[in-house]
Structure 1
Amino acid sequence: MLNQDIIREATRLTRAGQLVEATALLQCMLRGNSAPDAPSRTGGRIALTRREPLVIDAKANAIEEMDSHPQSKPATSAQPRMLGALLDRKKGRSRIGLRGEIKRAPLSTPNVVPEGTRFIEGTYSSPAGSRTYRLFIPSRYQEGPLPLVVMLHGCTQSPDDFAAGTRMNFIAEEHNCFVVYPAQPSQANPAKCWNWFRTADQQRGSGEPSLIAGITRQIMDHYSVDRKRVYIGGLSAGAAAAAIMGATYNDLYAAIGVHSGLACGVATDLPSALVAMRQGGSDHKVISGDRSPVPTIVFHGDRDTTVHPNNGGQILEQSVRTMSTQKKVHRGQVPGGHAYTRTILSDASGRGMLEHWSIHGAGHAWSGGSPAGSYTDPRGPNATREMLRFFLEHSLPEE
């Protein structure tokens, strides 16, 4: 059976609620094996019902400890497995992209926020549902109005964990910015993934995009926020959600950051999501208004085996199609860490609108992050600092 036939049949089985059979077919395809004539149930039991959201894209690639020759040891990981992409409910987590678990000590406040700042809890509710969040308030917030950064965590993560791993609060304190971390609950997705692959969660004014936008506006209404300088970024499933927010709310966010994510509209169900993760999406559904594309910065490890590096380039392609750009390429090396290629696409005036950082030897992990949080690669470059630098270079155009 050819790959396109496998995907077609898996789609039919998924819509019919036969997830085990669909999983068996797609597992064969991802392994590069020929598919059986008829799917079997030998792939194991999957405790999911049709009404539960599927868990797509969760764990990061395991990164080896750096030795004296960092380039001699590429990042390693398990290949994404279809069964691992669905929730292991016994353990309460998704297993995609990792063998085993990383044990970490409980997060301490010094790992999450700088001294003299606040990290408070809040809740937003609407007809679409309810989400909690954590808000970082810098020590000099009285000097407002200040920029606001929205950070969307990856699967199995929490706001505190994501804040510790990215250290965004520490960089935001330097630049005097608010940072808000919406939390995806297990009730919405068993592995706490943002449901980027569902059509219902890719639309303006409904589903998860409306909740994320609602949190953003609630902070803007309650605090002294510069409404022209509001930004959104994320990791993995959170990065894919950030791309959706840039496409659906380009009047709200002045720039977006996508780390190890996927373009808006490359998947609408389980089979297309897994294909996009494996090789990049083939269909780009751009959902935007009359405004110009949102300035975008992308980070992606070229050894990422959870979300294929092709996806990073495809995020930029959505914008390049609608604008004239000038291209510059810079190559660098983090001392003792990763080499990288930074591609800058500028508009006709020379203003940098799109950036793509290809991090050589890196897997599915936040570049330059802290080991205090999960799914980070301390060998850099520092995605947090570069993302915030890019954000602050942009603001919404005047009406």
Structure 2
Amino acid sequence: MTPSMTDLMNRATALTRSGDLHGATALIQAALRAQHAGSPMPGHAAHDDACDVIDVVARELDAPLWSPPSPPPPAAPTAPLHPPSPARPRDEAPGAAGEFLRGSHAAAGLRCDYRLFLPPGLAPGAPLVVMLHGCTQTPEDFAAGTRMNDVAGARGCGVLYPAQSTRMNPQRCWNWFKHQHQSRGRGEPALLESLIRAVVAEHGFDSSRVFVAGLSAGGAMAAVLAQACPDVVAAVGVHSGLPAGAARDLPAALGAMKGGPAEGFSQATSGLRVPCIVFHGDADATVHCRNGDALAKAIPRSSVRESRVEAGARRRAATRTVFVDEAARTTGEYWTVHGAPHAWSGGHSGGSYTDPLGPDASAEMVRFFLDLS
């Protein structure tokens, strides 16, 4: 890495951490223009080293892209955003009784570890819920914060937690915003599809009832996977994430996170290909709630039903919008959680990035998934 590139990344990182996403984007775009024109980096002398600017900068900026959000407005009920908790023993299943298996899988030139939760007495042909964690998280942390082992296990589902590697992304973010990880048969979608097929075959899950959900970068990758592989994913849950096609490089990712995807992005024009449930806090300072709106707009519907969900004293209220097709089948739900930050709604303080005051996203997602069967 050249000194000029190192300095560029440090300056862009500092701007992003300070909240100046526009400034960071402008710096990166100026560097790209200079690179393509063969001129020096902004503020530096020219050099001859060739490098992939987008790829290098994207890796360096993953941490500030998904740093802990600002607290919700003072007028709203408040609860702490729980930082990552101490690591659990590798063989301990957070919460529920059952087996919490470890494994590793390779496909498409990539490899990932995973954890698989099998509740006691799991029946043959059971549904499988796949959970994609957010940046800096691990499967154990995500399981503890979402309590998905308890919730899904009680309904007779297995739960699969793929782990993003630090080799693929130093902050363990799924690379939803890189074009090489956005289509079937390549990159992370190919790895995840292969892992799901292998786990379904080995443990006898029902291949027609595989549901994928994720938080933040994991929610964005869940949307990508559902769009790329609708014959593998029966339904998708996106929590505080972005729609597939919202960005294909770093500057577009910064813009989408700050203000929502640009007009005309691919998912908005093609529509979601599987049923979708969306959770997004309207006080999310990390991924703007316009991304939740964009996901909702992509859900096919012939009619819409909206209701307010009250949660009692010092709990967050939510607006639940249900989308129905001409055959009266539910095609999606959109939960706008009022006053909620960038965190899993209704989550447990034993995991990171949880908002215990919100409606229980885990329970609502599992209910939505299984009602489709």
Same-fold call, TM cutoff 0.5: yes
When residues 310 and 28 of structure 1 are mapped into structure 2, their CA distance, relative to the original with a 3 A threshold, is closer
2:334 paired residue number: 356
Indicate whether 1:276 and 2:267 are aligned: no
For residues 237-386 of structure 1, what are the structure 2 equivalents within 5 Å?
237-282=217-262, 283-286=264-267, 293-320=273-300, 324-335=301-312, 336-386=314-364
SS of the residue corresponding to residue 297 of structure 1 reads: strand
- Contact 1:63 / 1:377 at 8 angstroms: preserved in 2? no
For residues 76-225 of structure 1, what are the structure 2 equivalents within 5 Å?
102=83, 104-107=85-88, 112-115=94-97, 117-141=98-122, 143-225=123-205
SS of the residue corresponding to residue 196 of structure 2 reads: helix
Shift of 1:21: 6.6
- Give CA-to-partner distance per residue, 1:355-394, whole Å, 9 cap, x none: 0000000000000000000000000200000001111122
CA distance in 1, matches of 2:74, 2:360: 17
2:368 paired residue number: 390
2:37 paired residue number: none
2:209 paired residue number: 229
CA distance in 1, matches of 2:133, 2:19: 30
- Contact 1:71 / 1:338 at 8 angstroms: preserved in 2? no
Identity of aligned residues (%): 41
Shift of 1:316: 2.2
- Greater share of residues in helix: 2
Q: Which amino acid in 2 is paired with 1:342?
A: R
Cα RMSD (Å) of the superposition?
3.3
Shift of 1:102: 3.5
Of stretches 365-374 and 385-394 in structure 1, the one that deviates more from structure 2 is 385-394
- Give CA-to-partner distance per residue, 1:289-308, whole Å, 9 cap, x none: 9x972000000000001000
Give the gaps of 5 or more residues in structure 2: 31-40, 45-50
SS of the residue corresponding to residue 225 of structure 1 reads: coil
- Contact 2:310 / 2:317 at 8 angstroms: preserved in 1? yes
Of stretches 330-339 and 298-307 in structure 1, the one that deviates more from structure 2 is 330-339
Q: Which amino acid in 2 is paired with 1:136?
A: F
Q: Which amino acid in 2 is paired with 1:72?
A: A
Shift of 1:40: 5.3
User: What is the TM-score when the length of structure 2 is the normalising length?
Assistant: 0.82
SS of the residue corresponding to residue 362 of structure 2 reads: helix
When residues 268 and 173 of structure 1 are mapped into structure 2, their CA distance, relative to the original with a 3 A threshold, is same
